[in-house]
């Protein structure tokens, strides 16, 4: 019995040594950084694929579901970047409430056939939209690369909720209100378009 216990202890020590050796070898090779990069680009790829689904699907219900998936994946990306509060808000507010409102609004629009309820605008329109989108992303990337970013200093956040509330309602109050007005205008525009289609069908 003692020999069996001794053998088990030696086997456990050998197993621990192997695990430590593998972990140290992986750290030296930079595997944790590769895993972090893989997770980041994987979630980012899901966000992009879902956004493309919003545009490319001919069924508007499927487009709305892809929009919901894009919101949820973006929330997961925030959580991965240690912005847990923003991630939770993104998933609960956009992935939950806003997406449900959009789907309900779509279902309330009277249509006989939903298979082609989200028609394309032609090749020229898609190319133009791609050029504009590429120009926008290149401009944003250039702005980020060329902008001098300093240390957080006094805005170093110990509590993400309190810190974000303080920043949004003091230093960044104007962009915050502009984003709110933009979302309101988008919602009003969607209602006007839906009402116009109902009037045309009537």
Q: What is the pLDDT of residues 98-135, one digit of tens each?
A: 777 776 766 666 555 555 555 555 667 778 877 888 88
Confidence of residue 152 (pLDDT cuts 50, 70, 90): low
Residue 130 in tokens? 């791609």
Higher pLDDT, residue 172 or 117: 172
Q: What is the DSSP letter of 63?
A: H
Contacts 24+ apart (CB under 8 A), 37-43: 39/80, 40/77, 40/80, 40/81, 43/73, 43/76, 43/77, 43/80
CB atoms within 10 A of CB 68: 20
Higher pLDDT, residue 195 or 45: 45
Q: What is the pLDDT of residues 67-101, one digit of tens each?
A: 888 889 988 998 888 878 888 888 888 777 777 77
Location of structure tokens 């990337």: 141
- Look at residue 46 in the predicted model and tell me its pLDDT: 93
**Mean pLDDT across 52-58:** 82
Whether 50 and 63 have beta carbons less than 8 Å apart is answered as: no
13-27, 108-122, 125-139, 186-200, range with the lowest pLDDT: 108-122
| Buried b or exposed e, range 17-31, using 16+ CB within 10 angstroms | eeeeeeeeeeeeeee
Report the distance separating Cα 195 and Cα 202, nearest Å: 10
CATH number 1.10.3470.10 given to 1-118: no
Q: What is the DSSP letter of 148?
A: P
């Amino acid at each position: 019995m003692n020999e069996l216990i001794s053998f088990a202890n030696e086997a456990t020590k050998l197993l621990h040594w192997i695990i430590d050796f593998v972990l140290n070898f992986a750290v030296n090779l930079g595997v944790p950084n590769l895993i972090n990069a893989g997770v980041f680009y994987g979630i980012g790829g899901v966000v992009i694929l879902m956004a493309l689904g919003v545009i490319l699907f001919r069924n508007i219900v499927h487009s709305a579901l892809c929009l919901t998936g894009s919101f949820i994946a973006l929330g997961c990306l925030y959580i991965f970047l240690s912005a847990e509060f923003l991630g939770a808000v993104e998933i609960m507010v956009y992935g939950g409430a806003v997406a449900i409102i959009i789907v309900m609004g779509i279902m309330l629009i009277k249509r006989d056939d939903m298979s082609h309820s989200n028609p394309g605008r032609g090749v020229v329109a898609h190319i133009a939209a791609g050029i504009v989108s590429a120009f926008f992303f290149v401009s944003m990337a250039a702005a980020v690369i060329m902008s001098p970013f300093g240390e957080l200093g006094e805005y170093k956040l110990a509590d993400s909720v309190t810190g974000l509330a303080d920043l949004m309602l003091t230093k960044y109050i104007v962009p915050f209100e502009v984003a709110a007005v933009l979302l309101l205008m988008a919602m009003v525009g969607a209602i006007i378009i839906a009402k116009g289609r109902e009037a045309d069908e009537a």
